[in-house]
Every structure is written in structure tokens, then in C-alpha cells.
Chain A
Amino acid sequence: MAAAGTVDRMEAEPEEAQRLATEARDRVRFEEDALALSEQVYRVARHLAGSREEADDLVQETYARAFRSWRSFQPGTNMRAWLLRILTNLNIDRGRRQQRAPQMQPLEANDYYLYDRLSEDGDGISDEQRVVERLSQDDIVTALSAVPHDFRDVLVLVDLGDFSYADAAQILDIPVGTVMSRLHRGRRILKRELAESALEEAT
């Protein structure tokens, strides 16, 4: 303020009140913006977490933390990514994710495995869309949850959450190259899981 030197105590108080009012308004706006994203945050959380209950807890913890630390959000940056960064950190901190022993590396098939399995017993089916529709929604949700966490986190953020490789790298705090390799492997693991559940149903 240019006139700060002449401000007496009578005027200093309204200035402080003004500052508090501005802050309250910013905070309310932040909370409203964050709540407007809750549906999208939940959808990603639902598949990052192992179950509906875990997703429910995680989203609540995320919002409780976000509301407390709203000042650390930089206005104008991607709030959905900011919220999901809190969420993935909480998910890791809670120790819900077990370290996999090297011999338990997931099996993955080549990229065409699922298509080959689904179309081979097909009566000469020609429409790829119909081949896909042999899978049920439950098959897909179950297969997603069977993908190990490291791969699933990336798969869910990019393929379900529409985040770029760079955003996913920032959210998970891993290099972009790692995002790409985990994404590619995660998709193959998912297809293997889907092929298995489709074969089980067929028998």
C-alpha cells in the first residue's frame, strides 16, 4: 500500500479484516472446486484401492487432508492431479501395498494374447467390438484389481483417469520412462487376467 505510512491504527484493523475475508473466500472457493472433482477422484480411487470400502476411506482422508492444507495448492495448476497425489501417497503410507518378491513378478502375455484367445473359439466373428463385448463388466473390474499395484497405479491414472504420462509421473513421483514401461506391462498383465477370466467362464 502506497499510503501505508499514514495508516493509523483505526485503519489497520479493517485491513486485517479485509485480508481474513479474502482468505475465507479463497478457501471456500478451493473447497467447492475440490468437491466438484470428487466424482472423478472417486472413480480413480476405486480402482487404485483394493475395495469399495478402502476407496471410501482413502477419498475421505484425502479430502480431510486437502481441506487442511489448501494453502499449499497453487491456484491455476491441476487440482485433480494434486488431489490424486495426496491420495496415492496416503495409499502407500497406509502400508496397504505389499512389496512383491521378485519371483512373484506377474505373468504377462504378448499384446495380442487376449484377442487371440477371445477370437479363436469365436464362430469366425469379424467385428472386433463384439469380441470385446464377450467380457463382462465384472470381468473387467476383477481383472483390474488383480494387476499388481505398481502397474495398476499407472494404468488407472493414464487409461482410466486420462492423465498424461508426465502428470502420472508427477503424481507417483517416478520418472516418465518408468510410467511408460509400467503402463505397457500393466496393459499386458490386464489382458492376461482378462483372458484367464474369459477362459474360466467358457469352461
Chain B
Amino acid sequence: MMDPCAHCEEMMQPYLDHVLTDEEMEAAAAHLAECEKCRRRYKFEESLRIYVRKAADEQQMPAELRQKLAALRIPLE
């Protein structure tokens, strides 16, 4: 029998992507309910994903590029 925490680590990415089957989901949730260590790690992963997305979104499109793109439009005859 695999160490439940190691198994839980394997389930983390699919769990957070919502692609586990119902049984897998229940098994993971049951372990998380009783294991604080795994719970914290899942929570960290979730926060990290949100944080990475936020940092990446800060890279805004330059205003000149917007104008250049509009200028690429094909003029009407």
C-alpha cells in the first residue's frame, strides 16, 4: 500500500484541474480532511497558481502595439 501522502501528492495537479473521477476525488478529499500537511501543500499550490497568473497578467500590451495592429486592417475598396 502506497504512503497516503505520496499518493495525495500525485493527485494534486489533477485534483486542482478538476479532472479526477468521483471516487478519486472523494479519496483525495478524505485524506485532505485528516492530513494538515497535505492540506497546506494543496493550499499553497492553489495560491501559487493564482499568484503566477496575476504576475503574468501584469505584462500589459503596449499602447503603440494596439495602434500598429489596427493599422494592419485591410482597407475597404
Interface residues of A (CB under 8 A from B): 20, 24, 27-28, 31, 35, 38-39, 42-43, 46-47, 52, 56, 59-60, 63-64, 67-68, 110-112, 114-115, 119, 128-129, 131-133, 135, 137, 140-141, 144, 156, 159-160, 165, 183-184, 187, 190-191
Contacts and interface: CB of A to CB of B under 8 A. Distances in A.
Contacts of A67: 72-74
Q: List the 4 closest A-B pairs by CB distance, nearest first.
A: A42-B61, A140-B55, A128-B44, A137-B55
Contact of A24 (B13, B40, B56, B76): B76
Contacts of B53: 159-160
Nearest to A47: B56
A27 B74 contact: yes
A35 B48 contact: no
Contacts of B76: 24, 28
Consensus secondary structure, chain B interface? helix
Contact of A132 (B48, B62, B73): B48
B73 A43 contact: no
Contacts of B65: 38, 42, 56, 59-60
B39 to A, nearest CB: 9
B42 to A, nearest CB: 9
B33 interface: no
Nearest to A56: B65
Interface in B36-77: 40-41, 43-45, 47-49, 51-53, 55-62, 65-66, 68-70, 72-74, 76-77
Contacts of B61: 38-39, 42-43, 59
A32 B51 CA distance: 32
Contacts, number: 97
A140 B49 contact: no
A28 B70 CA distance: 12
Interface residues of B, number: 33
B32 interface: no
Contacts of B62: 52, 56
A59 B70 CA distance: 12
Contacts of B9: 110-112
Contacts of A132: 44, 47-48, 51
A115 B52 CA distance: 14
Contacts of B51: 132-133, 135, 140
A56 B67 CA distance: 12
A53 B77 CA distance: 33
